[in-house]
Structure 1
Amino acid sequence: MSRIVAALAVLFLSLAPAAAKTLVAEVSLSQQVLTIIYKGEALASWSVSTGRAGYRTPRGTFRPQRMYRDYFSQQYDGAPMPNAVFYDAGYAIHGSYETGSLGRPASHGCVRLHPADAEKFFDLVLTVGPENTAITIRD
């Protein structure tokens, strides 16, 4: 009987890989850096731009709510937001062609990335699944 229970436990664990996948995008507002952490291991760090004076980037821990490869702002004159991962209403992590601003606050509140890094992040979220992804924005 214990062999059957052990075999069922092994089978169950092998069928549940999604639960083991954990992707964390950790944004440091003070350092203007997004760190990608997968299963507890830091994989990459990318420069970002977050909310400039007069605009805030919401702090907290979120899950991706919706994702678009090609998105244009409905609030800011159709500004391109490639590989947008929305996490809190209208706030997203997305690519920006204003790469000279990366590393300092410059956005209306979104987290801007270099377009190539935004594409990598988008693909990671798709691979792991939004339900297995956390976005943490601190300090």
Structure 2
Amino acid sequence: MKILSVTLLIMSLLSFASSEGTAGQVVADVDLSEQAMRVYLDGEEIHLWQVSTGREGKATPRGIWHAQWLSRDHKSSLYNNAPMPYSIFFTGNYAIHGTNEISKLGTPASSGCIRLHPDNAAKLFALTRMVGLRNMTVIVQD
């Protein structure tokens, strides 16, 4: 059922994109139970990456958002200036970003953000810049 709903969402985004003449659509679909992110460009899966999401007591919000703002070399104002390279903020203080705790990828380990390998975070950041904020969708689900 989850695959069907994601497929329908991607199809609706693509039809909107073609009617608006945009540069493309990027969807970052985060599966909390798998600790994985699938990245779609114009409906085609182009990446499958391990992530770390919120650990016990620090939930990652579930839902669907558009990217709100980007910060290439962000430092956390909430967690002792922790590095958050290639941040893509999608709701409030929550972002997809690179991490230096690569060994924890694939397990819940963050304070609610979605952590990626820095190389993968750089790729997603570049894709988001290419298509624009309103054409980058973040889906977080169980």
Match of 2:92 in 1: 89
Instruction: Please give the secondary structure, in 2, of the residue aligned with 1:83.
Output: strand
Measured after TM superposition, the shift of residue 48 of structure 1 is 0.2
Match of 1:39 among 42, 51, 54: 42
Moved over 2 A (4+): none
> Counterpart amino acid of 1:59?
R
Superposed counterparts of 1:1-139, under 5 Å: 17-18=21-22, 21-139=24-142
Across the aligned residues of Structure 1 and Structure 2, the Cα RMSD in angstroms comes to 1.5
With normalisation by structure 1, the TM-score equals 0.87
Runs (5+) with no aligned partner, structure 2: 1-17
Report the Cα distance in structure 2 between the residues aligned to 1:57 and 1:45, rounded to whole angstroms: 19
Partner Cα distance (1:112, 1:31) in 2: 14
Q: Distance in 2 between matches of 1:40 and 1:118?
A: 20
Percent identical = 45
User: Equivalent residue for 1:9?
Assistant: none
- The TM-score, its normalising length taken from structure 2, stands at 0.85
1:55 counterpart letter in structure 2: K
C-alpha distance after superposition, 1:51-105 (max 9, x if no partner): 0001000000011111000000000000000000000100000000100000000
User: By percentage of residues, which structure has more strand?
Assistant: 2
